[in-house]
């Protein structure tokens, strides 16, 4: 690319350009770009005579291009083909839409209200352009939320295609002040009044914008309902009990004890089994084969006067009990030396402030502390996940 900067006579430029083209072809160059500042417009005619044509123009320069290769087809890219525009949907909590009437354009003098629109500047982001256009036309500060949709049309502006992005904006201020240069009027309008306009009711671009707004409004309403249901579920799941209404679990916690050995007596006694008192030893099992319980079979009959297989003699009796005999049952508390059929439980020692309560009796627990909130149920987690999905 040749960037012309210094002033030059057109005849001198033409001679130098011809010599340069011959050299570039020998070097295998294929395309040549010449950037002429607006101050060197006198060189345009000389360049056009050598085969250059316009590529694009900007406020301060003109770009010319020429494909000098004779053996290949031109691959020079075309000029920019699209213009990018934005439209801003700004709605407050009263379901009022920010609208304007323009002083110029095809809607001038028609009384039609429209949303703020504009063109994205070179090097400007779409969301920044939306914020800027709303501020310029209505003096309302906004925050970009999302792109609701876009439209592509062709040959709409200087035979170029147009990309139009519809942006959802959140208002940060509400005092409307119209732009005197381009805007005839600006205000907050009820959405129903906006949709009642004739141009909006007809199929086309403006009706499409209205349909998108309605769909977005229904979605926002659904999000609010899901949010309220989620809060309700969370409140139900995390309800905490009143400590004054909580019942104990069988007996209150003891506050004063005499000694540690008394602690086992705090639990209620186990219910009686088969008619035997609790804490008592069950009776011996029924005799088997005519032998008394807990006794083994009698020794076998000796053969030829000899004990069979050398049966060992019975062990000596211990403490007055017969050999092979089971120990006597425990003695009663009244007479420790007298065998008994069972044993009565010892009298409970009143060692603590509270005695053992009756089985299955619930008493108020004064030492009870309220439990931590219940964990989230699967239903609340599901509803919460659904609400986040709808918010995306």
Catalytic residues: 136
CA torsion, ordered 364, 366, 368, 373, to nearest 10 deg: 80
What are 74-79's contacts with CB under 8 Å, separation 24+?
74/31, 75/30, 75/31, 76/31, 79/55
- Three-state DSSP at 30 gives coil
| Residues forming a β-bridge with 26 | none
**Which phi and psi angles does 302 have, rounded to 5°?**
-65, 150
C-alpha–C-alpha distance, residues 48 and 37, integer Å: 15
| Residues forming a β-bridge with 56 | 63
C-alpha–C-alpha distance, residues 298 and 289, integer Å: 12
C-alpha–C-alpha distance, residues 388 and 39, integer Å: 59
Q: Residue 266's CB: how many other CB atoms inside 10 A?
A: 17
222: left (phi over 0), alpha (psi -120 to 50) or beta: alpha
**3-state SS of 197-264?**
CHHHHCCCHHHHHHHHHHHHHHHHHHHHHHHHHHHHHHHHHCCCCCHHHCECCCCCCCCCECCHHHHH
CA-wise closest residue to 323 among 315, 333, 331: 315
Q: Which two tokens stand for residue 274?
A: 């088969």
Sheet with strand 142-157: strands edge to edge: 117-119, 82-90, 160-171, 142-157
Q: Which two tokens stand for residue 326?
A: 């089971």
* Contact partners, residue 209, CB within 8 Å, separation at least 6: 87, 89, 115, 166, 200
């Amino acid at each position: 690319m040749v960037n012309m900067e210094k002033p030059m006579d057109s005849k001198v430029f033409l001679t130098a350009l011809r010599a340069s083209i011959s050299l570039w072809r020998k070097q295998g160059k294929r395309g040549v770009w010449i950037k002429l500042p607006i101050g060197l417009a006198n060189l345009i005619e000389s360049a056009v005579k050598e085969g250059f044509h316009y590529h694009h123009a900007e406020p301060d320069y003109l770009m010319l291009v020429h494909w000098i290769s004779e053996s290949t087809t031109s691959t020079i890219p075309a000029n920019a083909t699209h213009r990018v525009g934005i439209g801003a949907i700004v709605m407050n909590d009263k379901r009022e839409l920010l609208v304007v009437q323009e002083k110029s354009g095809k809607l001038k003098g028609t009384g039609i209200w429209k949303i703020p629109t504009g063109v994205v500047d070179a090097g400007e982001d779409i969301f920044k352009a939306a914020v800027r256009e709303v501020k310029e036309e209505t003096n309302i500060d906004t925050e970009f939320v999302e792109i609701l949709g876009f439209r592509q049309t062709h040959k709409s502006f200087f035979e170029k295609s147009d990309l139009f992005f519809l942006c959802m904006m959140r208002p940060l201020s509400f005092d409307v002040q119209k732009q005197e240069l381009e805007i005839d009027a600006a205000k907050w309008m009820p959405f129903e009044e906006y949709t009642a306009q004739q141009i909006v009711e007809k199929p086309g671009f403006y009706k499409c914008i209205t349909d998108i707004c309605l769909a977005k409004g229904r979605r926002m309403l659904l999000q609010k309902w899901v949010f309220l249901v989620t809060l309700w579920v969370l409140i139900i799941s995390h309800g905490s009990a009143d400590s004054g209404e909580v019942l104990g679990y069988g007996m209150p916690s003891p506050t004063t004890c005499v000694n540690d050995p008394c602690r086992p007596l705090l639990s209620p006694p186990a219910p009686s089994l088969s008619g035997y008192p609790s804490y008592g030893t069950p009776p011996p099992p029924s005799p088997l084969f005519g032998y008394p319980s807990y006794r083994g079979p009698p020794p076998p009959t000796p053969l030829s006067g000899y004990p069979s297989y050398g049966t060992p003699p019975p062990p000596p009796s211990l403490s007055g009990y017969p050999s092979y005999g089971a120990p006597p049952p425990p003695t009663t508390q009244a007479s420790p030396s007298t065998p008994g059929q069972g044993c009565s439980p010892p009298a409970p020692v009143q060692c603590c402030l509270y005695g053992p309560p009756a089985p299955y009796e619930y008493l108020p627990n004064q030492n009870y502390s309220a439990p931590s909130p219940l964990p989230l149920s699967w239903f609340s987690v599901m509803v919460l996940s659904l609400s986040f999905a709808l918010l995306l």
